[in-house]
A = this chain, B = another copy of it.
Amino acid sequence: MREIDQPSYHHGNLKRVIIDAALQAIGESGPAGWSLRELARRAGVSHAAPAHHFGDKQGLLTAVAAEGFALFADALERATADVWEVGVAYVRFAIDHRPYFEVMFRPELYRADDPSIQSAHERAAGVLITSARALSPSPEHDRMTTLAAWSLVHGFTSLWLSGALPESTDGDPEALARSMIRLVLGALR
């Protein structure tokens, strides 16, 4: 009796299949509440197939985080036409791609020094810094404006995702975030 129905070697895009399965598992049970073996079971492969491609669990999460940062940078870049919307895009990405986001900002889960992470991370940080500069009242406030804007948006996102906000149950996070961002950053300059 074989455990796998049809051991199909070289079926190609197993890496993608496993990452997708991981994203779904993270979405259901959080970034640490799933197992590699259950993942393999769902993907229809043997229990050690993930380890072959990603080395270990940290390796898989490193791949997830790297892909996440790249998608994140893309999403932020698409919003740069209207500077005010970059913060909204931040929130929207976190909610629309929650599994990515939850891994990305938990660096103890993956290898943050991996080159694939660093490049995507720098790109995302670049968009944030550029956008914040456009909102800053004067050049010497650039650093503080960046810090404040990032903190504001990231805090809203974290609280929303963790369910700490009373508005989390119903309500539209995007609209709420937009109001908050315009109010606070509008007052700043």
Which residues on A are within 8 Å of B, measured CB to CB? 29-30, 32-33, 105-108, 112, 144, 147-148, 150-159, 162-165, 167, 176, 179-180, 183-184, 187-188
Contact = CB atoms under 8 A, between A and B. Distances in A.
Contacts of A187: 184, 187-188
Q: How many copies does the complex hold?
A: 2
A152 B154 CA distance: 8
Nearest to A181: B148
Contacts of A188: 183-184, 187
A129 to B, nearest CB: 10
10 A-B pairs with the lowest CB-CB distances in the bound complex, closest first = A155-B155, A151-B155, A154-B155, A151-B156, A187-B187, A32-B32, A30-B108, A152-B152, A148-B184, A158-B158
A121 to B, nearest CB: 9
A150 B155 CA distance: 7
Contacts of A151: 151-153, 155-156, 159, 180
A161 to B, nearest CB: 10
